[in-house]
Structure formats: structure tokens, C-alpha cells
């Protein structure tokens, strides 16, 4: 059963709610038949008045979130596989060449396969069933939630690592400081590097990306709040860059810090009480505009049964009456239904082309436009759901 967070997970500070999306089912649980997705839970995010960390107030436990029917597979997204190739190349440049790599939240091992092909000894950690695909690819896996105790066990059994990576994992953890303490345990004492990528709260605010808010994403970081938690965990944020991942992410590079609090927190441009204050109204406005755009003649289909679309479709109450099917490239999702809104998920090309695709995988807009030239050439349109929904 979920529990209500009444104080900040990082510092115990007072929380102030800035976004309330009603209740929503678990975003990555795609039922075999309508109604099979399990319960919906309250979906709301708050901001700590002391350390500024943004976080969910209804916390669903790992066993329920990442259970046997967890639907996300990295390899299910063609664009993500190539993004991870480049990611691995960039990481090895920073590390100075092939080094032992541990990937936390490795999912199906897509990133580790790129590191292995580059000559690195690799190890994965992931409690979800996706990890079984990594094992099938010959990757050694610790199928547990990554905690300091698990990190100590890995260090005793495998030694330390020159590179520890985590892409789109830091948002999912139970306790950010504990997660980063565990990363620190794995790192080589001298020249260990942790490279951690997570959605940027400032981009979420600027782009009104409220669909990034779902139960798997327990925390939403800016560079400032992430650097602060890292410092508490004994890591220094030595550099960070912005990346296009998930609509706007931060790629942070961390090292074991000499002095635990040697980090100067950069001033956040948007992730502040003022920046967050307007998000609720902007989400409501965005929802109303999307429903107006859908209230037009023509067949609309969804493009990409993403986890984020569970929030968008449930919050906007968009079901099969408005969107009769969603196309998706992940084999394990095809033949199932979208959680809570029960729209059938089909494979690409199973239906004749619609008039309009509602782009639920909007974070891959560029790749998808380059790929879907036949559809657009025939006059097909895309509805892009944010920051304010529009048609191209
Ligand atoms: O944080 C998370 C991100 C990294 O991945 C996880 N909590 C869960 C998951 O979120 P998501 O499902 O919103 O991720 P993506 O990568 O934005 O979307 C993946 C889905 O989109 C897959 O089901 C495949 C589908 N897709 C598609 O059907 N056609 C993706 C692409 C690129 C396409 O062309
Ligand atoms: Zn706090």
C-alpha cells in the first residue's frame, strides 16, 4: 500500500503542494484487458520549503511499481538505443577509455551492451523484470534495489568501479541521499566517476511537462537540488551539462568529495516557489486546449504508449472514444491496453494511417518526424501535447 509523505524525504522539511493531477493508475502497468491495471492512486507533487527538493506526496512501494508486469524496456525505443550509444561514447571519453562500469537501473542492459562492445567489464543493478533481458544478454546482474547495503555487497564481491552510471534512475529511488551514498560506495576511491542523468525540473516547468509526473517518478531535480543531495551523500557535482533526453535532462558528473559540503549550489532559474506556482493552472489550460484539438473530425491515433502518456491521458480523460488506438514499438506492450484509459495498444502499421497522431512520445519528435515522412507526405498531422498543445 502507498504511504503519504508529509515531510521532505531529504531533510524532513515542510512540503508545499504545487501540482495535483487527481488520481492515476501506475504508468508502466499495461493491462492485458481493460481494468487489469490495478488501483489508481493520488498523483500530486510538492516542494520542500527548506531544501527545495520537489517530490511526490503519495509514495507507492517498489514491489508494486517495478513488479512482474513492469512494461518499460529501453530497447523498445529505437531512438533510445542510439541515444545510449552516444551516451556510452561520451562517458568513456570522460573516463579516459574502457574501464569497469556498473550501471544502476540498467533495465534490459542496452547501455551496458554498448560499454561491453567498447571493451569494458560491465555489471548491472535492476530490481525489475527488465533486468532478466540484461541477464539473457549475458550481463551479470544484481536484481535488487540499489541501497548502501547492496553497494557494500557488490564492492566486497566485485571490487570498486571507475565508472558508475544511472540514466533516468535518480527520479525513481526511495531515498535520494541513500541512493547517492550507495553510488559513492561503489566508486574507486581515487578516480571513480559517477555519471547520472535525470529530467531537469526547470525544463519540466518551462515546458509544462506535467506528464513527467507519475508514481515511478518520486523526485524531480534541478542542478541545485541534485547537487545539494549529492553533497550530503559525500559526492561533489564536478560538472553538468544539459541533454535532450526526455525533453530536457541534466547529465551530472560526480566524484567522491574531499569535504562533504564543498558544493556551491547554483542558483536555480525556474525551480523555485514562483516557478512552480503557475504549473497547476498551466496544466489545466494545456488539458483544455488538447481536448479542443481532439474535438475535430478525423481519426486520431496515439503514437507511443509511453509511461508519461498514462498521466496525460488519465488527467485529460482521453479514452478510446477520442483515441481509438495507440501504436507502440515495444513488443511486450502490443496487444495490451493503456492503464486507466483502456485504449488498445497496437503495433506500427497494424491499422491504416490515421488523419492525426497524438504524439505521446513527444520527446522523440525529431526522430519521429524524420521517420514518418510517408504519413506527413499524405497530409497526416501530429498533435504535440505541450507546452501548449499544437498541430504540425
Ligand atoms: O523515466 C522513465 C523513462 C526513461 O522511460 C521510466 N520511468 C519509464 C519510461 O518512460 P516512457 O515510457 O515515457 O519513456 P519513453 O522512452 O519516452 O517512451 C518509450 C515508449 O515509446 C516505448 O513504449 C516505445 C514507444 N516509442 C514508439 O512507440 N515509437 C518510442 C519511439 C521512439 C517510437 O518511435
Ligand atoms: Zn527538504
- Which ligand has an atom closest to residue 333 CA? 1
Arithmetic mean of pLDDT, 75-95: 95
Residue 162: its pLDDT value, please?
97
**Residue 66's closest CA among 111, 9, 26?**
26
pLDDT at 339 over 50: yes
| DSSP three-state, residue 245 | helix
What is the DSSP track for 62-114? HHHHTSTTB---GGG-HHHHHHHHHHHHHHHHHHTS---EEEET-TTSHHHHH
Mean pLDDT, rounded, for 229-244: 93
Distances (CA, A) of 77 to 70, 73, 329, 338: 16, 8, 7, 17
pLDDT tens column, 275-295:
898 999 999 999 999 999 999
Q: pLDDT by residue (tens digit) across 91-128?
A: 999 999 999 999 999 999 999 999 999 999 999 999 99
Nearest CA to ligand 1 atom 2: 168
Secondary structure (3-state) at 183: helix
Tell me, using a 6 A CB cutoff, whether residue 331 lines ligand 1.
no
- As a whole number, the mean pLDDT across the chain is 95
CA distance 264 to 253: 15
| Biggest alpha carbon–alpha carbon distance for the chain | 63
Atom of ligand 1 nearest to the CA of 360: 21
User: Does the pLDDT of residue 24 top 90, yes or no?
Assistant: yes
Task: For residue 234, name the pLDDT band (cuts at 50, 70, 90).
Answer: very high
**What is the pLDDT at residue 306?**
97
Report, as an integer, the average pLDDT of 361-376. Answer: 96
Q: Please check the confidence at residue 270 and state whether its pLDDT lies above 90.
A: no
Question: How far apart (Å, rounded) are the C-alpha atoms in residues 5 and 16?
Answer: 11
- For residue 282, the CA-to-ligand 2 centroid distance in Å is 25
pLDDT band at 166 (very low <50, low <70, confident <90, very high): very high
How would you class 262 by CB atoms within 10 Å of its CB: exposed for 0-12, middle for 13-18, buried for 19 or more? exposed
Q: Residue 257: which pLDDT band, with cuts at 50, 70 and 90? A: confident
Taking a C-beta distance cutoff of 8 angstroms, is the pair 382, 375 a contact? no
Q: Which of 43, 306, 325, 334 to mutate to test the pocket of ligand 1 (most atoms within 8 A of CB)?
A: 306
pLDDT above 70 covers a percentage of the chain that reads 98
Mean pLDDT for the stretch of residues 5-34? 96
Say yes or no: CB of residue 133 within 6 Å of ligand 1: no
Q: Are strands 54-56 and 219-220 parallel, antiparallel or unpaired?
A: antiparallel
Q: How many CB atoms lie within 10 A of CB 310?
A: 29
Residue 30's Cβ-count burial label (10 Å; 0-12, 13-18, 19+) is buried
For ligand 2, the distance from its centroid to the CA atom of residue 11, given in whole angstroms, is 4
Decide: 361 in ligand 1 pocket, CB within 6 A.
Answer: yes
Lowest mean pLDDT among 110-119, 145-154, 268-277: 268-277
Work out the percent of the chain whose per-residue pLDDT is above 90.
Answer: 90
Ligand that comes closest to the CA of residue 7: 2
Kindly state the average pLDDT of the residues 358-383. 97
Report residue 260's pLDDT band, with 50, 70 and 90 as the boundaries: very low
Ligand nearest to the Cα of 46, by number:
2
CB count within 10 Å of CB 209 equals 28
CA of 217 to the centre of ligand 1 (A): 14
User: Which atom of ligand 1 has the smallest separation from the CA of 306?
Assistant: 12
304 Cβ closer than 6 Å to some ligand 1 atom: yes
Contacts of residue 202, defined as CB under 8 A and 6 or more positions apart, other chains included, come to 222, 248, 268, 269, 270, 271, 275
DSSP 192-243: -EEEEEEEBHHHHHHTT-GGG-STT--EEB-HHHHHHHHHHTTEEEEEEEEE
How much is the pLDDT for 252?
96
Amino acid at each position: 500500500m502507498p504511504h503519504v509523505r508529509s515531510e521532505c524525504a531529504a531533510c524532513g522539511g515542510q512540503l508545499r503542494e504545487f501540482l495535483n493531477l487527481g488520481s492515476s493508475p501506475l504508468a508502466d502497468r499495461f493491462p492485458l484487458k481493460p481494468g487489469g491495471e490495478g488501483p489508481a492512486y493520488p498523483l500530486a507533487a510538492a516542494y520542500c520549503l527548506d531544501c527545495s527538493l520537489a517530490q511526490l506526496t503519495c509514495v507507492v512501494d517498489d514491489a508494486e511499481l517495478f513488479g512482474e508486469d513492469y512494461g518499460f524496456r529501453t530497447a523498445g525505443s529505437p531512438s533510445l538505443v542510439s541515444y545510449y550509444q552516444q551516451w556510452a561514447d561520451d562517458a568513456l571519453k570522460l573516463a579516459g577509455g574502457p574501464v569497469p562500469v556498473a550501471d544502476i537501473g540498467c533495465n534490459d542492459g542496452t547501455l551496458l551492451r554498448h560499454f561491453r562492445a567498447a571493451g569494458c567489464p560491465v555489471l548491472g543493478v535492476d530490481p525489475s523484470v527488465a533486468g532478466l533481458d540484461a541477464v539473457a544478454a549475458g550481463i551479470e546482474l544484481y536484481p535488487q534495489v540499489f541501497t548502501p547495503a547492496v553497494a557494500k555487497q557488490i564492492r566486497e564481491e566485485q571490487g570498486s568501479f571507475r565508472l558508475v552510471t544511472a540514466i533516468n534512475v535518480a527520479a525513481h529511488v526511495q531515498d535520494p541521499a541513500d541512493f547517492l551514498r550507495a553510488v559513492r560506495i561503489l566508486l574507486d576511491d581515487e578516480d571513480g566517476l559517477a555519471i547520472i542523468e535525470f529530467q531537469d525540473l526547470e525544463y519540466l516547468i518551462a515546458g509544462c511537462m506535467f506528464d513527467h509526473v507519475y508514481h515511478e517518478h518520486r523526485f524531480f531535480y534541478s542542478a541545485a537540488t541534485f547537487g545539494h543531495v549529492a553533497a550530503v551523500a559525500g559526492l561533489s557535482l564536478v560538472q553538468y551539462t544539459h541533454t535532450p533526453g526526455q525533453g530536457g535532462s541534466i547529465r551530472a558528473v560526480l566524484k567522491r568529495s574531499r569535504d562533504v559540503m564543498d558544493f556551491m549550489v547554483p542558483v536555480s532559474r525556474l525551480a523555485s516557489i514562483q516557478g512552480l506556482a503557475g504549473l497547476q493552472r498551466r496544466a489545466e489550460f494545456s488539458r483544455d486546449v488538447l481536448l479542443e484539438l481532439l474535438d475535430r473530425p478525423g481519426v486520431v491515433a496515439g503514437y507511443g504508449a509511453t509511461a508519461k502518456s498514462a498521466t496525460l491521458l488519465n488527467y485529460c480523460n482521453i479514452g478510446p472514444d477520442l483515441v481509438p488506438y495507440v501504436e507502440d514499438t515495444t513488443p511486450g506492450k502490443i496487444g495490451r491496453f493503456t492503464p486507466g484509459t483502456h485504449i488498445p495498444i497496437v503495433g506500427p502499421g497494424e491499422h491504416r494511417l490515421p488523419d492525426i497522431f497524438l504524439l505521446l512520445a513527444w520527446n522523440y519528435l525529431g526522430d519521429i518526424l524524420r521517420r514518418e515522412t510517408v504519413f506527413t507526405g499524405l497530409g497526416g498531422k501530429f498533435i504535440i501535447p505541450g507546452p501548449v498543445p499544437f498541430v504540425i
